[in-house]
Structure 1
């Protein structure tokens, strides 16, 4: 199965928010985050289902992930506030798509109170938010699959899963970032990347943390056990499969139209066209 896009364009406040395009100048310090939600709807968008909010720092690659019950602004605000409280450095800006879960007065007023500025991407231009679109795939979908999650038990498992995934991605997983363009030996233009580093290493190199914060984060990283994190993630993924796999497959099969005729309706025979009776002469 594939994911379903549930972004609904919001005309509210759209024209008053700055547009950020692919290729614009990259932020020179940590704090600017691209944001998006991933729908755990399975093969159908009918009914209520969980959403996962994902925040990704453009400069460092630091991620924060949390699952909410639905796209109501009270749940989105709660997840955004949890991200601001949990991320170990100041969140200075947020870049959203054009979904109504973000472009509304409640979220805008919340950001204004925290002195967080807003930008948005262009509709139908995925490259404007390349960082978060990449994380939607190899973070949210990789660890939480494409199943449908619509119960409190499934959301509870996801709530235990994401802190482990965030620790693995932020403290233990090196990534490389585009550093410019060059040419190969044949003269063709090619993309250049920097040396792989973890988001924590990029954050420490940025020089925005105090000495105490640096020591605390480094000590926390040294206390992590990668093997133990991997086993706990695998166990929670197994629980997700037990909860949602069969249900999602049944919904998927029900969405496929059957090629067989409905035998309950019987066999239909095309009616012959009505012909007037032929009059015959009666012998006298």
Structure 2
């Protein structure tokens, strides 16, 4: 089981921001992710919030071993052509330590930041279905032209290419059939936060059952696509299911074991943030993590 963390970009780099990324490496986390938003839900909406890719670039220069990534990037305010160039550059600066978490995006937070109405669920899925394959091409081919419904590219060049070959790995966030097909075709990992209805029920047992059903659907989708399901990493972004894994070291060990049995091979924990939904005892957090790491 891999243990990773997500560090929300809410602190100035010189006022504790750098320290968190370096501490994540010291603790032995597999990957340190950050959210790729322009703004996020309350209580974060009216507070400091920094850009994901510049933050990851700074983290790449402040660390040497830990992998770095977005959790997740979406088409809400990204275009594949400039995004590919920025990712290629970050992969180079980090010396091949970058993972791209990518999803369809939502209807709130920064969905209207560029001045257009929030896209419907169907339009987000349509855009995501074009966004991912085009980004895949931009990161693997030297020159790409594309005339699509939502995105275009004209002789977009990606030289010298990614450090990681054939490209930066994609961790595709998806719960619906179209997204799972994209994960099966283009992803090196699949990401979920659980089932929203089961999460809202407040029952860890219901959440566990819903996650089992999601994994079953994912495996069937992989089989239909002619892909070995075991070839796709399964990532659970924690903090949204009804579980409370960071109440104690013992609770975390139980949580980790139960979700490993489901088939997850990476758990992502939010770095503790006081007075937010991700508040937890930093001492318990560090002890829980180090007790489960190899």
TM-score (norm 1): 0.24
- TM-score (normalised: structure 2): 0.23
